[in-house]
Structure 1
Amino acid sequence: MNLLTKTAVTLLLSLLFPVLGQAGEDALYAADAPDGATFIRVVNADVNGNIPQAEIGGKAIKDIEPLAASPYIHLPAGTYQLEVGDQAAPITMEKDRFYTAVVLDSGELEILPDKSFKNPRKALISFYNLTDDGGISLKTANGKVSVIEPVDSLSVANREINAVKVSLGAFAGGEALASTSPVNLQRGTVFSFFIMDVGGSPRLVVAENQVDTSI
């Protein structure tokens, strides 16, 4: 059995059967934030340069590199104005909810609601289709195991799985678009996979979700 086939079998088993054991509550990535807070981060989907600063609620998220996601920051629940460069977008954020603001290559802002996650026994995968094309799915890199069904353009879908180390790929139908190196999906963590169009070539970017409570 080759390595890719072993990886596919391992992921399939992780999707079907529970893993024994329990992680502590401190493994949850928002554990240090205030009770009832709301959370937002910024993703720079523009390959052309850093985002020097994004401002919301009197807080600033600085120096977001191209094709990268900032940590989440926390705010009291409420209605805010997010400002990035000369773009601004209103957003009403509910307590205990998470949001991703995407800066597209056009400079426009797209705000997507994220899934709250409070399961220390699982890992959460969030798959963001940041391309203009719909119907992109997330599978094991060899295409043998489906992880997240096709996602529309500028949309996100989620799935909880058990801990596993695996390479994942974005697919349009049966066509492989892009893949990642092996990712260690540990219990109590959230990983975001972003499929982006970089100069006409798709790229799959992965980031572990974090909250920066120092901001």
Structure 2
Amino acid sequence: MKLLKTLMILASFLAFTTNIQAQEGNADLYDAVAPADSAFVRIINLSNSNISATLTGKVNPQRIAVKQLSNYRFVPPGKHKVSTGNASIDLDLKANTAVTLVYENGKLTLINDQFSNEPRKAQIAFYNLTNESIELKTADGKHEVIAAVNKNQTGSRKVNEIKIAFAAYSGSKKIASYPSNFLKKGGSYSYLVIPEGSGYKAIAQQSGIDPTE
């Protein structure tokens, strides 16, 4: 998998969530340039409190709010360690790859991201962090976008530029909806379903780089 060029393109984009519209004109917020052959790490915080996560090779911790997905941090390939609170995980990262770490119940779980470098297409990644098998469909449920994935798994797909709304389905039941968004070629977009109370929460975010050292 080659994520490097994709993430460098994405560095000019602002992240968006289901309750925040994507905004443009703020490219200076994501103007960090990752060295060639970097590896990328980000965290989704499913705990009930904000966390501060350290990553070897970085000076400052990354702070992630409750039920939020961080931007990627880049490091040289090799052995690294991510720690938050009493939890830690050792990683052996390869060049031009990316991982998403799930922080839940006091531990970190690794998901290997499936993005590929295709600047002529938009990249969609779907993450299921619930106990159900869930698929990503068009909002009306008529067309499958990404086949069903299980807990702490991800699936991906490349699409042409398009403005579209998605929804997460468990069988024929719609369990979460995402706002309509324009998917730009060269952009990478993450769609997540996470548990919230007795139900689910949808998170949609355009991937970006956290330049903090």
User: TM range, normalised to the smaller chain?
Assistant: 0.7 to 0.9
Distance 1:194 1:170 in 2: 9
State the Cα deviation string for residues 130-162 of structure 1 (Å, max 9, x = none): 0122x2000011101110000011101100111
How far apart in 2 are the matches of 1:138 and 1:25?
A: 22
In structure 1, what is the equivalent of residue 175 of structure 2? 177
Deviation of 1:115 after TM superposition, in Å, equals 2.2
Check the 8 A contact 1:61/1:70 in 2, yes or no: no
Q: Equivalent residue of 2:126, what SS?
A: strand
**Distance between the aligned counterparts of 2:91 and 2:7, measured in 1?**
29
- Structure 1 segments, 4+ long, off by >3 Å, are 24-27
How many residues align? The count is 188
Any stretches of 5+ residues in structure 2 without a counterpart?
12-31
Q: CA deviation at 1:120?
A: 1.3
Q: Specify the code of the residue in structure 2 equivalent to 1:119.
A: E
What is the CA RMSD across the aligned residues, in angstroms?
Answer: 1.9
Match of 2:205 in 1: 207
Partner of 1:193: 191
The answer to whether the 8 Å contact 1:27/1:189 transfers is no
Partner in structure 2 of residue 103 of structure 1: 103
- In 1, the alpha carbon distance for the partners of 2:34 and 2:95 equals 12
- Deviation sequence 1:87-130 (CA, Å, 0-9, x none): 011111001100111112x1221111112432111111100000
Partner of 1:167: 165
Query: 1:20-39 to 2 correspondence within 5 Å?
Result: 28-29=9-10, 32-39=33-40
Once the two structures are TM-superposed, the CA of residue 214 in structure 1 deviates from its matched residue by 4.0
Report the Cα distance in structure 1 between the residues aligned to 2:6 and 2:115, rounded to whole angstroms.
Answer: 14
Map of 1:30-179 to 2, 5 A cutoff?
32-46=33-47, 48-51=48-51, 53-59=52-58, 60-104=60-104, 106-133=105-132, 135-179=133-177
Normalised TM-score (structure 1): 0.82
Q: Please state how far the C-alpha of 1:63 moved relative to its aligned partner.
A: 2.3
Alpha-carbon displacement from aligned partner over 1:60-110 (angstroms, at most 9, x marks no partner): 442211221111111110111210111011111001100111112x12211
Q: Tell me, which stretches of 5 or more residues in structure 1 are unaligned? A: 1-23
* Number of the residue aligned with 2:23: none
Look at both structures and tell me which one has the larger radius of gyration over its CA atoms. 1
